[in-house]
């Protein structure tokens, strides 16, 4: 019997099951179909889908996808490069100081600024992102 690193519903725990218990007779075609049937989109693919639907902050994406906010920023940098060949682009809606209204138009980073250069306030609106 060949052991496969798959679990079958109802067995409980992380006990490995044999290939015949998991998917029936052993066949490369069967394993290929099982893998494609249960394909889950990657975190970046899910982010691209959410950003295509509307404006999102890094916090929105973090809470929706269940990943840390720092990871979202790393993914955004990659997404900005990967959507260009598809004829799309990642639009960043600039942060704004809530105290004086200063807009961070020339900022290239995806992270939220720490404080306003004009009034030194830390009340900064998070930037929003969208794929257009």
Taking only the tens place, the pLDDT of each residue in 39-61 is 788 999 999 999 999 999 999 99
67-to-3, 61, 89, 115 alpha-carbon distances in Å: 32, 8, 23, 25
Which strands form 128-131's sheet, in the order they lie side by side? Answer: 56-57, 128-131, 90-93
> How many CB atoms sit inside 10 A of residue 41's CB?
10
**Residue ranges per domain, the chain?**
3-37, 43-131
Percent pLDDT > 90 in the chain is 69
d(CA 36, CA 21): 19
**Average pLDDT rounded to a whole number, residues 24-33:** 45
Give the pLDDT band (50/70/90) at residue 11.
very low
Angle at 102 between CA 99 and CA 106, to 5 degrees: 145
The pLDDT assigned to 85 comes to 94
Angle at 116 between CA 113 and CA 117, to 5 degrees: 110
The pLDDT assigned to 36 comes to 53
Rg (CA), the chain: 22
| pLDDT per position as a tens digit, 69-80 | 999 999 999 999
pTM given for the model: 0.67
d(CA 65, CA 53): 15
Q: Tell me how far the alpha carbon of residue 54 is from its chain's centroid.
A: 14
Nearest to 58 by CA among 48, 46, 44, 73: 73
């Amino acid at each position: 019997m060949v052991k496969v690193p798959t679990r079958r519903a109802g067995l409980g725990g992380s006990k490995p099951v044999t290939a015949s218990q998991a998917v029936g007779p052993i066949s490369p075609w069967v394993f290929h179909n099982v893998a494609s049937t249960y394909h889950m989109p990657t975190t970046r693919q899910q982010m691209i889908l959410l950003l295509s639907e509307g404006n999102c902050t890094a916090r929105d994406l973090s809470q929706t996808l269940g990943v840390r906010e720092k990871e979202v920023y790393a993914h955004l940098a990659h997404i900005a490069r990967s959507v260009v060949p598809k004829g799309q682009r990642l639009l960043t809606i600039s942060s704004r100081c809530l105290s004086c209204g200063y807009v961070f138009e020339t900022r290239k980073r995806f992270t939220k600024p720490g404080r306003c250069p004009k009034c030194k306030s830390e009340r900064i609106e998070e930037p929003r992102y969208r794929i257009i």
